[in-house]
Amino acid sequence: MVRINGKSIVKGIAIGRIMKFSKSENQVKREKINDIESEIKRYETANAEAKKQLNTLHEKALKEVGESGAAIFEVHEMMLEDDDYMDSVKNIIRTQEVNAEFAVATTGDNFSELFASMDDEYMKARAADVKDISERLIRILSGSSAETDAMNEPVIIMAEDLAPSETVQMDKEKLLAFVTRLGSSNSHTAILARTMNIPALINVDISDDWNGKTAIVDGYNGTLIIDPTEEVLKLMEARQKEDQENQQLLQDLKGKENITLDGHEINVYANIGNVSDVAHALSNDAGGIGLFRSEFLYLGTDDFPSEEEQFKAYRTVAENMAGKKVIIRTLDIGADKQADYFNLDKEENPAMGYRAIRICLSQPEIFKTQLRALLRASAFGNISIMFPMIISLEEVKQIREILSQVKKSLDEQEIVYHDVEIGVMIETPAAVMISDELAKEVDFFSIGTNDLTQYTLAIDRQNPKLDAFYDSHHPAILKMIKQVVDNGHKEGCWVGICGELAADLTLTKTFLEMGIDELSVSPSSILSLRKTIRETTLN
């Protein structure tokens, strides 16, 4: 047994086999295709091959483990023949003009989310089966064999570093934990791990020799244990069980208000990165979506998502949230979130570079496509639009101008949309200082403490060496938050926090006393935040 120290970025215990992450594996790339019919044929051929494989497996299992053990392969075969499943794959290929692998992966995700959210235990269990058949199809389509398929059981991923675009594409059902050598607590990969609620360690001196070994990730103590002894394994399993029991206790808070002992209420919303996170937000009783990082729709693909694809994603989120507020942030690409097809230059200081609203305002066609998709989706729920990295009033005016052009073109085409609330992220010191003026232009503010800390303290949030200096409790940050709340309220703007600090329970009381109206946190933090709010009395 070996014990290695690292830095924990997500608490929790994971026990399982380590798998070295290799950059080319585990990812289904979205590719544009020209010949739709031959792509559909490719899918049909793969489907037939999958059925053949399952048939063989069924026969083998019948001989080796009997009827009940073999039945699962029959279920899988039936799923492969399901009309809804097949239609969905073909529709995605047709309407989005994409490769069969991508269409199967998307369908697999959607269907398994659907099953997972059902009340019936039997149906819930089918989520894993849908994933399984989708993976089989993808393996066949991409020519890799089941034996070499790296992620056919839940694993602890070990990597030098993980980019957000890699993390976002991983199959969450198969991820037990992350262990990386590089990375920082405030990076988007860390944020994604929190959103997925999987234990994660950074700064671990990883070794290729661990590949395939059993390990324990202890996110409470920041340690990784390789080849644990029976005794340690038992101890950690007990700890894991305790965790699950505590989670269970929090479930009692579902349906309860976010109200302090002396009657102050606050909204608690969820931060999400993609459509499938909505199920997680709902199962944790989110009052709304406070931040949908829309740029994740642009990552891990080889071309811009079309208006139609975006529309469908935003509409699905809005519909699933059933009238609850859904705040969608426009594209915040750049810095650590890179997509090749944007052709962004390498920059000396990417965090202070060409990113987010700066790209949108200088390439209005990209921006307009997104705004059209957002406005169209607004007819299907309660969508608000929020803009990142704002530093000036001029930017907000330009945004309003572009937005009115988009609305005009929708009017001309008689396409309906709702009157959406408009907000800005307050994540630069400049935005804080002019928040009195910005408040006159928008309906709400959402404070991005991740970037606000980075820009105020002059600390690169990506640099692991600076983690110890990255102090979000710095008085400068807290004073700024208070200033933004006061300036916002003077003009009737509501003010929320959607940076990671919102989930910091040691500051919950402070935020309530400041008059913050909303806290938006990763779905798994919602109920513990509610618990803290309900145990608080304001001064």
Active site residues: 188, 498
In the complex with ligand PEP, the residue whose CB is nearer, 105 or 326, is: 326
Nearest approach, Cβ of 303 to Mg ion (angstroms)?
A: 25
**Any long-range contacts for 221-224 (C-beta under 8 Å, 24+ apart)?**
221/8, 222/5, 222/6, 222/7, 222/8, 223/3, 223/4, 223/5, 223/6, 224/3, 224/4, 224/5, 224/6, 224/179
Nearest approach, Cβ of 459 to ligand PEP (angstroms)?
A: 13
**Residue 449 site contact among Mg ion, ligand PEP, none (CB < 5 to 8 Å, cut-off depends on kind):** ligand PEP
Q: CB under 6 A: which stretch of 78-86, 90-98, 247-255, 448-456 binds ligand PEP?
A: 448-456
Residue 120 phi/psi, 5-degree rounding, is -75, 125
**Residue 165 site contact among ligand PEP, Mg ion, none (CB < 5 to 8 Å, cut-off depends on kind):** none
Degrees, nearest 5: CA angle 215-217-223: 105
Binding ligand PEP (rule: CB under 6 A), the pick from 6, 154, 199, 448 is: 448
- The residues in 379-418 that bind ligand PEP, with binding defined as CB under 6 A, are none
In the complex with ligand PEP, the residue whose CB is nearer, 233 or 514, is: 514
If one asks whether residue 218 binds Mg ion (CB under 5 A), the answer comes out as no
Element (H, E) at 63: helix 36-80
- The Cα–Cα gap between 29 and 138 comes to 11
In the complex with Mg ion, the residue whose CB is nearer, 286 or 425, is: 425
- The residues in 311-340 that bind ligand PEP, with binding defined as CB under 6 A, are 332
In the complex with ligand PEP, the residue whose CB is nearer, 380 or 387, is: 387
Can you tell me which residue has the tokens 């009309």? 83
Distances (CA, A) of 411 to 161, 402, 404: 47, 14, 10
Which residues, in sequence order, are bridge partners of residue 202? 7
Return the residue nearest Mg ion (CB atom). 451
- The residues in 439-458 that bind Mg ion, with binding defined as CB under 5 A, are 448, 451
Q: Are strands 382-387 and 518-521 parallel, antiparallel or unpaired?
A: unpaired
- The Cα–Cα gap between 130 and 114 comes to 10
Half-sphere exposure in the Cβ direction for 138 (13 Å, CA): 27
- The Cα–Cα gap between 206 and 212 comes to 13
DSSP summary character for residue 306 = P
Q: CB under 5 A: which stretch of 11-19, 279-287, 419-427, 512-520 binds Mg ion?
A: 419-427
Binding Mg ion (rule: CB under 5 A), the pick from 132, 171, 427, 443 is: 427
If one asks whether residue 293 binds ligand PEP (CB under 6 A), the answer comes out as yes
**Residue 499 site contact among Mg ion, ligand PEP, none (CB < 5 to 8 Å, cut-off depends on kind):** ligand PEP
CB 383 within 8 A of CB 314: yes
Half-sphere exposure in the Cβ direction for 353 (13 Å, CA): 16
- Counting residues that bind ligand PEP (by CB under 6 A) gives 11
If one asks whether residue 372 binds ligand PEP (CB under 6 A), the answer comes out as no
Q: CB under 6 A: which stretch of 125-133, 400-408, 428-436, 446-454 binds ligand PEP?
A: 446-454
Distances (CA, A) of 184 to 158, 294, 341: 15, 22, 26
- The Cα–Cα gap between 183 and 160 comes to 9
In the complex with ligand PEP, the residue whose CB is nearer, 369 or 450, is: 450
Binding ligand PEP (rule: CB under 6 A), the pick from 189, 294, 382, 450 is: 450
CA of residue 166 relative to chain centroid, distance: 12
CB 306 within 8 A of CB 368: no
**Residue 498 site contact among Mg ion, ligand PEP, none (CB < 5 to 8 Å, cut-off depends on kind):** ligand PEP
Per-residue x/- track, 482-501, ligand PEP (CB under 6 A): ----------------xx--
**Residue 200 site contact among ligand PEP, Mg ion, none (CB < 5 to 8 Å, cut-off depends on kind):** none
Q: CB under 6 A: which stretch of 91-99, 163-171, 366-374, 444-452 binds ligand PEP?
A: 444-452
Distance in Å from the first CA to the final CA of the chain: 50
Burial class (CB in 10 A: 0-12, 13-18, 19+), 108: buried
- The residues in 232-291 that bind ligand PEP, with binding defined as CB under 6 A, are 291
Binding ligand PEP (rule: CB under 6 A), the pick from 135, 427, 443, 517 is: 427
**Residue 288 site contact among Mg ion, ligand PEP, none (CB < 5 to 8 Å, cut-off depends on kind):** none
- Counting residues that bind Mg ion (by CB under 5 A) gives 3
| Helix (H), strand (E), coil (C) string for 80-134 | HCCHHHHHHHHHHHHHHCECHHHHHHHHHHHHHHHHHCCCCHHHHHHHHHHHHHH
**Residue 526 site contact among ligand PEP, Mg ion, none (CB < 5 to 8 Å, cut-off depends on kind):** none
Q: CB under 6 A: which stretch of 91-99, 125-133, 145-153, 443-451 binds ligand PEP?
A: 443-451
Record the tokens describing residue 115, joined without a space: 């099953």
In the complex with Mg ion, the residue whose CB is nearer, 451 or 500, is: 451
In the complex with ligand PEP, the residue whose CB is nearer, 154 or 164, is: 164
Rounded to the nearest 10°, the torsion over CA 104, 107, 111, 112 is 50
**Residue 96 site contact among ligand PEP, Mg ion, none (CB < 5 to 8 Å, cut-off depends on kind):** none
Record the tokens describing residue 208, joined without a space: 């290729």
Residue ranges that bind ligand PEP, judged by CB under 6 A:
191, 291, 293, 332, 427, 448-451, 498-499
Residue ranges that bind Mg ion, judged by CB under 5 A:
427, 448, 451
